[in-house]
Amino acid sequence: MPAKLIDGKAVAAQLRASLAPRVARLAARGVRPALAAVLVGDDPASQLYVRNKVRACADTGVRSEVHAFPADAGATALADRIERLNADERVHGIIVQLPLPPALDAARLLASISPAKDVDGFHAQNLGALLQGRPRFVPGTPAGVLRLIEHAGVPIAGRRAVVIGRSTIVGKPTALLLLQRDATVTLCHSKTPDLAPLAREADILVVAAGRAKLVGRAMVKPGACVIDVGINRAADGKVVGDVDFDAVREVAGWLTPVPGGVGPMTVAMLIANTVEAAERTLD
Ligand code: NAD
């Protein structure tokens, strides 16, 4: 039997709808949640991602503002803007769309965002809280991955989970979240020799390497839950994940499509974090 597809678009729409009563409760107390996105340069992919976030905000009743800077913007101008946004009571969440032009120090800029407004969850304080098992703002993609696994009803506690990819924004936090749910987690990366037998042990396989068709049928345990985070541009211009979809569909128990899997969840979790940031100002 082919794998059940996990529909990220539908789960993300449900999540956004579930935010409506929270946004209404905030409105009743005179608060409109707001997200500020800092966008530097004219990379079309970054512009598209920011447009998607702005649209998702509008759908959810969250106010958004885009702070666009030219590609040659100086670090001081950006730091000044972040400082202003940190102090602005009408702004609850601040994100810096990555990647930044190479001349800018992304880590430094991200560190200047107030942890209470860091709705991308990339600040060391928020990543540290996640490591300690008391997460505050969890990065959207890993949080979305967990939400999809839970939505599918796939058991996590006591199961073997393998995460391929160890970036700070996807692989590492995903591994931590699975560990927190009592999975036994293996974190693989580009220096892992002989990936296939490790991947084949996984009841839950999360692939976030950015390599089209990295995971084929032989790397998947029959019945496993396979979450494909990858976004790659195929030779024909189509967007594909890291998993050989048609082949793995024949063997996996559950599978996320690309597009329409993890991507929509990333944005929905960001909006959820923004609403939460606004709620915290009333605590
Ligand atoms: P990254 O380049 O920072 O990290 C990639 C990781 O994969 C590294 O840890 C590397 O060691 C590992 N890797 C690379 N080749 C490998 C191989 N052959 N075998 C094993 N491990 C290998 O990328 P990232 O930011 O973590 O993103 C990963 C992928 O997920 C990209 O395709 C990116 O576009 C996508 N992504 C999707 C979303 C979404 O919302 N769907 C969000 C963020 C990233």
Domains and CATH numbers, the chain: 30-114 (3.40.50.10860), 140-263 (3.40.50.720)
Check pocket membership of 214 for ligand 1, CB cut-off 6 A. yes
- Rounded to two decimals, the pTM is 0.97
Contact predicate 208/164, CB 8 Å: yes
Q: Could you tell me what percent of the chain has a pLDDT over 90?
A: 99
Q: Give the confidence band of 1 by pLDDT, cuts at 50, 70, 90.
A: confident
The set of residues, in sequence order, having a beta carbon less than 8 Å from that of 12 and lying 6+ positions away, is: 144, 264, 265, 267, 268
Contact predicate 244/212, CB 8 Å: no
Average pLDDT over every residue of 17-21: 97
What is the CB neighbour count within 10 angstroms for residue 149? 26
Whether 172 is catalytic = no
Which residue, 182, 181, 225, is CA-closest to 202? 225
Check pocket membership of 231 for ligand 1, CB cut-off 6 A. yes
Three-class SS state of 226: strand
Q: How many angstroms is it from 202 CA to the middle of ligand 1?
A: 18
State yes or no: pLDDT of 32 exceeds 90.
yes
Write phi, then psi, for 171 (nearest 5 degrees). -60, -55
Contact predicate 123/111, CB 8 Å: yes
C-alpha 257/C-alpha 240 separation (Å) is 9
Computed over every residue of the chain, the mean pLDDT equals: 97
Contact predicate 145/262, CB 8 Å: yes
Whether 242 is catalytic = no
- Each residue of 165-212: pLDDT tens digit? 999 999 999 999 999 999 999 999 999 999 999 999 999 999 999 999
Q: Give the confidence band of 222 by pLDDT, cuts at 50, 70, 90.
A: very high
Q: Give the confidence band of 76 by pLDDT, cuts at 50, 70, 90.
A: very high
Task: Note the pLDDT of residue 214.
Answer: 98
Average pLDDT over every residue of 124-141: 96
Task: Note the pLDDT of residue 8.
Answer: 98
| Burial status of residue 8 (CB atoms within 10 A of its CB: 0-12, 13-18, 19 or more) | buried
The residue type found at 135 is P
Closest protein CA for atom 16 of ligand 1 = 190
State yes or no: pLDDT of 152 exceeds 90.
yes
Whether 120 is catalytic = yes
Contact predicate 148/227, CB 8 Å: yes
Vertex 139, ends 133 and 144: CA angle to 5°? 95
Average pLDDT over every residue of 120-124: 97
- Each residue of 48-71: pLDDT tens digit? 999 999 999 999 999 999 999 999
Q: Give the confidence band of 283 by pLDDT, cuts at 50, 70, 90.
A: confident
Task: Note the pLDDT of residue 82.
Answer: 98
- Tokens matching residue 118: 């860091």
Q: How many angstroms is it from 246 CA to the middle of ligand 1?
A: 21
Vertex 87, ends 82 and 93: CA angle to 5°? 65
C-alpha 58/C-alpha 139 separation (Å) is 21
Phi-psi region of 118 (alpha: psi -120 to 50; beta: other; left: phi over 0): beta
Which residue, 144, 138, 38, 52, is CA-closest to 98? 38
